[in-house]
Amino acid sequence: MDIALAIEALIPAAQYFGSTTENDKECFDNLDWQDSRTKPTWKQLQDAWVTLEPKLVSDAEAKATQRQAILDRLGITAEEAALILS
């Protein structure tokens, strides 16, 4: 689970400090919640993630398909595109 994305889904632009890098309950519990809105529970985050994750996967797959279609139209590989953009 991506804690930061789950928080954003539940409480857009929430104000908090701390690391969410580990994406586990301990790092969530250690966040310094600064927002005037109530901090969500771990269970609420988990429930939000169940709904959010399939959409993220679907969006990523759609972007990959679009990216490949563009590369195909241009007649170049992803590596060649990366060289052009670097």
Domain locations along the chain? 3-85
pTM of the predicted model as reported, rounded to 2 decimal places? 0.65
Predicted confidence at residue 65, as pLDDT, reads 86
Predicted confidence at residue 30, as pLDDT, reads 96
Mean pLDDT by 10 residues, the chain (86 residues): 94 96 94 97 95 80 86 92 92
Sign of torsion, CA 41 42 46 49? positive
Asked if 35 and 14 touch (Cβ cutoff 8 Å), the reply is: yes
Place of tokens 């771990």: 42
Q: Which runs of consecutive H residues, i.e. helices, occur in the chain? A: 3-10, 25-29, 42-74, 78-85
